Amino acid sequence: MEPANKAKFSVDLTKRQMEQLDAKIVQRWKQIAECQQMDDATRLLKDQRALQKMQEMRTRLRARLAAVHQQLSQASVDERSLEDVERNCPM
């Protein structure tokens, strides 16, 4: 797989992971609200811990997304540069 294609795949995959995680976070917030209404302290604590871990994961995914965006831009530049060299330097 070409470096730019590999980087593009990583960007797309990371974006999908973030979207899925965001949906899970929204669901967890709803569960927390339900626990608060039901005054279920044990479940509330469990859900809050899970939410914290999800938010930490989202932070890591954001950092990964920034890194793979950088890889994509570098790979795209490298491939265009290589194409220019190949086109302008007959062998």
Residue with tokens 């479940």: 43
CA nearest to 3, candidates 66, 82, 60? 82
So what's the pLDDT on residue 73? 82
Collapsing DSSP states into helix, strand and coil, what is residue 80? Answer: helix
Residue with tokens 């730019």: 4
Question: Quick check: pTM over 0.75?
Answer: no
Contact indicator for 3, 67 with CB cutoff of 8 Å? no
Instruction: For 89, list phi and psi in degrees, rounded to 5.
Output: -125, 85
pLDDT digits (tens, 9 = 90+) for 75-90: 766 555 556 545 555 5
Contact indicator for 58, 21 with CB cutoff of 8 Å? yes
pLDDT digits (tens, 9 = 90+) for 15-54: 999 999 999 999 999 999 999 999 999 999 999 999 999 9
Taking the domains of the chain in order of start, what are their residue ranges? Answer: 14-79
